[in-house]
């Protein structure tokens, strides 16, 4: 295969999150007659990559599912180099600034190709959630920044993501490269909607609000529940559906029940099939997403694909491109502001906002990857013309040594394989000679 783009990420199916979804769509849309894609990701128990129309290469990992929900890759994988040889990689594109970028830096030393990093997530918040020691947080941020600075080009999925990157101390160039949506523009049939929502009390005349994503408090879920509790106290009728799972699922559900919302607020759990998810978007009247954590808010664009408008925090990353009371609704980051927003809305007003959202906010993955592909060529040309500065980072000699060691071990394994093959041939010839003699 010629002209392959190598995509690296710490998560990939069977783990499903926003970044894994982005990598799958990059890989899918990059595959054509002129180019190909190959994905490198840590090994995961029970993974089955045969269903993908592009190669997925796995490297050894540590099982940390009990503590983090993920496996942690070990960024030293000589076998990956041998597996990459048929693909003629022309560019490495990492989607995680931790282990994936560490491995990519090693591979770059051997392959002599440029390395791009896409910054998807506010990693300072992720680090703070995992590490409670301030000293460990600062060490982790410095290591993170070392990885980011070592890349030839850095992309961010939104202006807010770029600002977060700057807050970590990054001072280099940052290109905004938006993610797309893998849902088609348009609505599903009423039959599909009825099948998905069967068993849920969702009267036709009552507004239905929706949240899709990880059920974590930092997604602004307390704002949603407290606002709905205020509306319930005023005897306003509504329904709220949370679609997704997450570490705070049971706590969030229990809090909803303590507010007396069990008859109006439902938890549908994770929905992985995209057509079923489309049906939920199409059934709702308004999407509630008061999150300041997310750097892109793909779910907002997914909702827009289905003509569903969103309520967002003004100034948040998810609200980029949203005009208040036209293609979305903007509120302050508190329950009172959300409750006030919902009080004055008719179903007709919500439908009008949804129609503008579909026209103005939707971005397909085809168009998103087309823009990325054009930028790839710019980066490749700049790299081979010597436009990028030499890597004088503190840890670069370590990655250079690791890359050379991986290459040496890969070549040694090739020689061993050739020797084993030759020995097998000689043994076969010896057996034939024995037959002739006997």
Taking only the tens place, the pLDDT of each residue in 161-172 is 899 899 889 999
Residue where one domain finishes, among candidates 362, 377, 401? 362
> What is the rounded distance in angstroms from the CA atom of residue 363 to the CA atom of residue 357?
11
Whether residues 206 and 303 share a domain: the answer is yes
Is residue 423 included in any domain, yes or no?
Answer: no
Q: What DSSP character marks residue 50?
A: T
Whether residues 154 and 66 share a domain: the answer is yes
At 361, list the tokens.
């906010």
Strand partners, 296: none
Whether residues 212 and 250 share a domain: the answer is yes
Q: Under the phi-then-psi rule, with left for phi > 0, alpha for psi from -120 to 50, and beta for the rest, what region is 16?
A: beta
pLDDT category at 435 given cuts 50, 70, 90 is: low
Whether residues 342 and 194 share a domain: the answer is yes
**By three-state DSSP, how is residue 239 classified?**
strand
Is residue 437 included in any domain, yes or no?
Answer: no
Whether residues 253 and 385 share a domain: the answer is no
Whether residues 172 and 203 share a domain: the answer is no
Whether residues 271 and 355 share a domain: the answer is yes
Whether residues 228 and 267 share a domain: the answer is yes
Look at the chain and report how many structural domains it folds into: 2
pTM: 0.77
> What is the rounded distance in angstroms from the CA atom of residue 48 to the CA atom of residue 146?
33
Is residue 331 included in any domain, yes or no?
Answer: yes
Contact (Cβ atoms closer than 8 angstroms) between residue 181 and residue 298: yes
Is residue 25 included in any domain, yes or no?
Answer: yes
Instruction: Write out the DSSP string of 169-211.
Output: T--S--EE----B-SPSS---HHHHHHHHTTS---TTS-EEEE
Is residue 432 included in any domain, yes or no?
Answer: no
Model confidence pLDDT, tens digit, residues 128-184: 665 566 776 677 778 888 899 999 999 999 898 899 899 889 999 999 999 999 899
Whether residues 264 and 296 share a domain: the answer is yes
Q: Mean of the pLDDT values across residues 79-108?
A: 91
Q: What DSSP character marks residue 235?
A: T
Q: Mean of the pLDDT values across residues 313-336?
A: 95
Is residue 249 included in any domain, yes or no?
Answer: yes
Domain that holds residue 309: 190-362
End-to-end Cα distance, the chain:
48
Is residue 157 included in any domain, yes or no?
Answer: yes
What mean pLDDT value characterizes the chain?
A: 87
Higher-pLDDT residue of 431, 356:
356
Whether residues 278 and 252 share a domain: the answer is yes
Whether residues 332 and 391 share a domain: the answer is no
**Tell me, what CATH number does 105's domain have?**
3.40.50.2000
Whether residues 148 and 244 share a domain: the answer is no
Is residue 275 included in any domain, yes or no?
Answer: yes
Residue 423 confidence (pLDDT): 59
């Amino acid at each position: 295969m010629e002209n392959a783009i190598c995509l690296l990420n710490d998560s990939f199916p069977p783990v499903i999150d926003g970044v894994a979804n982005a990598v799958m769509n990059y890989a899918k849309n990059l595959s054509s007659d002129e180019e190909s894609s190959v994905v490198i990701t840590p090994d995961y128990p029970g993974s089955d990559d045969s269903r993908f129309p592009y190669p997925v290469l796995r490297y050894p990992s540590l099982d940390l599912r009990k503590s983090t929900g993920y496996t942690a890759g070990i960024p030293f994988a000589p076998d990956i180099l041998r597996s990459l040889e048929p693909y003629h990689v022309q560019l490495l594109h990492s989607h995680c600034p931790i282990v994936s970028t560490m491995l990519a830096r090693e591979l770059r030393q051997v392959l002599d190709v440029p390395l791009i990093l896409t910054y998807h997530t506010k990693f300072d918040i992720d680090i703070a959630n995992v590490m409670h020691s301030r000293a460990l947080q600062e060490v982790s941020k410095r290591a993170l920044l070392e990885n980011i600075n070592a890349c030839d080009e850095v992309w961010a999925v939104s202006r807010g993501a770029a600002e977060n990157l700057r807050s970590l101390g990054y001072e280099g160039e940052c290109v905004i490269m938006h993610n797309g949506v893998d849902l088609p523009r348009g609505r599903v049939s009423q039959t599909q909607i009825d099948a998905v929502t069967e068993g849920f009390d969702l009267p036709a005349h009552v507004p239905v609000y929706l949240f899709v994503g990880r059920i974590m408090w930092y997604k602004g879920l307390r704002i949603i529940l407290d606002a709905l509790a205020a509306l319930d106290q005023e005897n306003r009728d509504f329904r709220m559906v949370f679609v997704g799972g997450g570490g705070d699922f049971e706590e969030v559900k229990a809090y909803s029940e303590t507010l007396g919302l069990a008859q109006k607020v439902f938890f549908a759990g994770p929905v992985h099939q995209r057509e079923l998810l489309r049906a939920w978007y199409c059934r709702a009247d308004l999407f509630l997403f008061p999150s300041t954590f997310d750097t892109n808010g793909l779910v907002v664009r997914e909702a827009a694909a289905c003509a569903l408008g969103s309520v967002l925090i003004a100034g948040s990353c998810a609200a980029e491109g949203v005009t208040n009371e036209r293609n979305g609704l903007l509120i302050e980051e508190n329950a009172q502001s959300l409750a006030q927003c919902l009080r004055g809305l008719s179903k007709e007003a919500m439908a009008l906002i949804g129609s503008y959202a579909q026209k103005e906010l939707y971005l397909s993955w085809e168009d998103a990857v087309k823009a990325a592909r054009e930028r790839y060529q710019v980066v490749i040309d700049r790299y081979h013309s010597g436009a990028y500065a030499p890597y004088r980072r503190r840890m670069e000699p370590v990655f250079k040594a690791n890359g050379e060691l991986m290459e040496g071990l890969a070549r040694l394994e090739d020689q061993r394989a050739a020797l084993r093959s030759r020995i097998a041939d000689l043994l076969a010839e010896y057996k034939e000679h024995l037959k002739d003699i006997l």
